[in-house]
Amino acid sequence: MNIETNNSERHWFALYTKPRHEFKVALKLKSISVEYFLPSLTVTKKWSDRRKKIEVPLFNGYIFIHTDEKERLLSLQQDGVVRTVSFLGKPSIIPDDQIESLRRVIAETPDVFVIDKIEVGSQIKIASGPFEGVIGVVREAESEKWLFVNIEILNRAVSVKLPRESVIKIIER
Predicted confidence band of residue 129 (pLDDT cuts 50, 70, 90): confident
Domains 11-108 and 123-169 share a fold: no
Q: Which CATH architecture has domain 11-108?
A: 2-Layer Sandwich (3.30)
pLDDT of residue 156: 66
The whole model's pTM is what?
0.62
Predicted confidence band of residue 56 (pLDDT cuts 50, 70, 90): confident
Burial class of residue 144 in the structure, from the number of CB atoms within 10 Å of its CB (0-12 exposed, 13-18 middle, 19+ buried): exposed
Domain extents in the chain: 11-108, 123-169
* 25-33 average pLDDT score: 97
Q: Name the CATH topology of 123-169.
A: SH3 type barrels. (2.30.30)
